[in-house]
Amino acid sequence: MSEPVWILGVSMLKFGRYPDKDVVDLGSEAALNAMTDAGVTIHDMGVMGVGCLYESNAMVGQRIQKQIGQTGIPVYNVANACATGASALRTVILTIKSGEADMGLAIGVEQMGKMGLLGGAARARTDEEGYERSGRYGAVMGTEGILGTNLMPGVFAQAGMEYANKYDGVGFEQFAKVAEKNHRHSELNPLAQYQKVFSLEEVMGAPMISYPNTLLMCCPTGDGAAAAVVVSDAKLKTLSIEQQKRAVKVAASVLTSDPWTEDGQVQPDVNTLTRNAADKAYELAGVGPQDLNLVELHDCFATAELLHYQNLRLCEDGGAGEFIDSGAPRRDGRTPVNVSGGLISKGHPLGATGIANVFEVTTHLRGEAGDRQVEGARVGMTHVIGLGSACSIHILERAAT
């Protein structure tokens, strides 16, 4: 990334249930808060990127404009599974890097309520009586998983068990430790959907959803919004010293999709595209995993977080079990992971998550995270993955000013 771009302002609404508001209300509130945090107004924006998955065909961005100010700027409405918000942010970043705008607004918003279990793709076929290969993917039956599931808990449960079968030192307890950690972290985050601490025994003893993920190892659905103001390097230099001091550099912005893998034809491969994105992000930012002071990664299930320790190069191959056992990803550990409480406790309104992760890391790099502050944080990573698949990684750095 030749000329840097900067996060100038961020905001996040507490994730939860908002029965008296809609996506326009939620997105507008987050947008106005982010611009207030940045010290700018809608008239300073040259582009908007708005991520909303379940109303992706409803022109959410333009509807938000009608509530916060219609200035005629281009609006991109983005949908990219769980990477929707991060993709909207990347759209704004790329627009600014292209020189088409010097400041822009990215919004991620979703109103899900109690949507229930979600699948990663449409059924491969509808004729359940036949067992001959047919359809777009040559499927024999209308399922996307080897074990016969098209629901997220089963997909990520299987991915976790494949890792556990391949490497020693990983079992039910290591997966449960991920959730216990994140629930404990959420106690310090007033914006988390849930802020309740559970013991390891309570996590392991909760109702089983899809082994090894119990109920307390699965993220909840809900409502929420987050927003970020992005500014070019040249424009930032014209702003006040206080704005420059609080700006956070976007050292890398990466988006990947699935490369072809044989296993990926029947079971979504959540690993390869994440590893590819991480390697590219480290190359662009000129840093390595050892330089990260905190990471907000996509822990839709406890099994997912443990897998991504290795995928993001936070541990050596086969070392994810030892990594969680050692306490390395705890807030006071070597590489704090999901100090916000992660998706497991913070919540996961799909379109909002990617920018909410950027909000969290930005807040720590500014030294404004309060009781959950990771002391001395200078470099952080955000990561989201949406089955289908899309993976987005951003590496952020504290301003040197």
pLDDT tens string, the chain, 401 residues long: the values are 468 999 999 999 999 999 999 999 999 999 999 999 999 999 999 999 999 999 999 999 999 999 999 999 999 999 999 999 999 999 999 999 999 999 999 999 999 976 655 554 544 444 455 556 667 766 655 544 455 566 788 889 999 999 999 999 999 999 999 999 999 999 999 999 999 999 999 999 999 999 999 999 999 989 999 999 999 999 999 999 999 999 999 999 999 999 988 777 777 889 999 999 999 999 999 999 999 999 999 999 999 999 999 999 999 999 999 999 999 999 999 999 999 999 999 999 999 999 999 999 999 999 999 999 999 999 999 999 998 899 999 999 998 65
Cβ neighbours of residue 208 closer than 8 Å, sequence gap 6 or more:
214, 215
Given 52, 82, 315, 391, which residue is catalytic?
82
Mark whether 43 is an active-site residue: no
pLDDT of residue 154: 84
CA separation for the pair 65, 87 (Å, rounded): 19
In whole angstroms, give the CA distance from residue 177 to residue 321. Answer: 10
Which one of 183, 298, 348, 383 is the catalytic residue? 348
Where residue 9 falls (left for φ over 0; alpha for ψ -120 to 50; beta otherwise) is beta
Q: Any catalytic annotation for residue 82? A: yes
User: How many angstroms separate the most distant Cα atoms in the chain?
Assistant: 68
CA dist 120 → 149, 157, 185, 308 (Å): 10, 14, 28, 18
What pLDDT shows up at residue 111?
95
pLDDT at 179: 98
Q: Are strands 75-78 and 208-210 parallel, antiparallel or unpaired?
A: unpaired
The pLDDT of residue 125 is: 44
Strand partners, 16: 223
What are the chain's domains?
5-114+220-394 (3.40.47.10)
**Contact 107/87 with Cβ under 8 angstroms?**
no
pLDDT value, residue 267: 75
